[in-house]
Structure 1
Amino acid sequence: MIDKDRIKGAAKEVAGQVQKETGKLTGDREMQARGEARKTEGKIDKAAGHVKEVLRGDK
């Protein structure tokens, strides 16, 4: 069973990438940085979800 953190992380990762690219298109460096941070947060959530799955014995 996939952990909720992995799903939440994937969503944050995609949203962060969109935000980062929007910042690039508009020239808004602050938005780019927030997007990159959100993307990184998503990667961390995904990794935490994976660890939870391993500890439960799902993988």
Structure 2
Amino acid sequence: MIEISNMVLLELKRKRGEKNISVTKLSAQTGISRWTLADILTGKKNIVKKATFDKLNNWLQEEKK
């Protein structure tokens, strides 16, 4: 299990805002359940499985290319 830092959370929110995409669309792009994403984005969940963290990190990295 990995904790999502405030910096990663802010980056995730910023990218999502810039792209103006819904949680459902973000879910489709990352492969993470929309319920899990909603909990992460609202701060209800900050400890996630490594696979979930890797998916978020990969999405953030893809967007930087």
TM-score of the two chains, using structure 1 as the length reference = 0.35
Q: Which structure has the larger Rg over C-alpha atoms? A: 1
Structure ranking higher in helix proportion: 1
TM-score of the two chains, using structure 2 as the length reference = 0.32
